[in-house]
Amino acid sequence: MTSEATSFRAHHTSRLRRSVLTVPAINERAMAKVGSLNCDAVIFDLEDSVADDRKAEARRNVLKFLQNSALGPCERIIRTNATDTPHFREDMALVLEVLPDAVLLPKVEEPVTVQDVAEVLSEQDAAEGLRIWAMIETPRGVLNAAAIASSGRTSDSRLDAFVVGLNDLRKATGIPAAPGRTYLVPYLMQVVLAARAYGLDVIDSVSNDFRDLEAFAEECAQGKAMGFDGKMLIHPAQVDAANCHYGPSETAIAEAHLVAGAFADPAHAGLNVINIDGRMIERLHAEQAARLLAKVAQIDARKEMS
């Protein structure tokens, strides 16, 4: 990460975002189960999963649930309807009333969308720590991903994460939902690169067939290899697999301890490159190791709380 990116994200709290479960706000039974799940974050969806004539009911459900339910360390996100819809004003009124951890804006295509919502939030003292997540799910959104990500500079640094939405992107591009996502990989990598350039987390798209856990595991492995922080989920059955695949492996943890310990050795003080078992290890690897071990500490803390 560049020093420029670090400067405007330094105050953001690092969060586990391996498993990001989306729940239709119209489904009270599904919301009631969230507290018993081990997902890192939950998105209460007011958009695609809710019919137009039930939007008000969905908002009431979220209001009642968040006012009466404790979700512990689980991050709470509300996905609003698009900013150019008649429902958005009421959605934002709900956001400002319940103050979730973040608001997820769908179909973001221009930096001004993030900037306008950031201005609304900045007018409310109570919303000081409320983050913005942006869904990148259209051709224009992918093409403008870098510009949208850079809006973190001018939007009170609230922009915190990208979430990829492949269903809308497939519809717009005509790319079929084939195994391996071969022809979508360039678009996915473009979004990852934009997020990383400006210090954002980035969440992979949903896997639509929640019964096919083998295909889901393959997508998780692919997403992790591409650099995603976690995956958006549509069913509780996907939570454990996402946590497993997006969590650090035992091999990676052991390597992180080795690298961190080597750079902590007083004999290596002031060195930016050291030799570990015939491998040249740079200080940047020590920084990566520290971030990984911090994530491990969060995972261990979650296990103790469960």
Q: What pLDDT, in 10s, does the model give residues 158-209?
A: 999 999 999 999 999 999 999 999 999 999 999 999 999 999 999 999 999 9
Q: What is the mean pLDDT of the chain?
A: 91
Which pLDDT belongs to residue 153?
63
Mean pLDDT across 214-238:
96
Which pLDDT belongs to residue 36?
92
Token output for 143: 């093409």
Where are the CATH 3.20.20.60 domain residues in the chain?
3-246
Q: Quick count: other Cβ atoms within 10 Å of Cβ 207? A: 26
What pairs with residue 22 in β-bridges? 43
Which pLDDT belongs to residue 304?
74
| Residue 72: band (very low, low, confident or very high) from pLDDT cuts 50, 70, 90 | confident
**What's the pLDDT tens digit per position in 10-30?**
334 478 999 999 999 999 999
C-alpha neighbours within 13 Å on the C-beta side of residue 275: 2
| Residue 267: band (very low, low, confident or very high) from pLDDT cuts 50, 70, 90 | confident
Contact of 74 with 40, CB cutoff 8 Å: yes
Which pLDDT belongs to residue 300?
87
Question: Alpha-carbon distance 243 to 40, whole Å?
Answer: 8
Given a cut of 50, whether residue 1 has pLDDT beyond it is no
Mean pLDDT across 56-79:
94
Conformational region of residue 283, where left means phi above 0, alpha means psi within -120 to 50, and beta covers everything else? alpha
Which pLDDT belongs to residue 14?
74
Query: What is the homologous superfamily of the domain 3-246 according to CATH?
Result: Phosphoenolpyruvate-binding domains (3.20.20.60)
Which pLDDT belongs to residue 9?
43
Token output for 207: 């896997």
Closest CA to 293 of 256, 259, 263: 256
What pairs with residue 281 in β-bridges? 274
Given a cut of 90, whether residue 216 has pLDDT beyond it is yes
| Residue 4: band (very low, low, confident or very high) from pLDDT cuts 50, 70, 90 | very low
Mean pLDDT across 248-254:
92
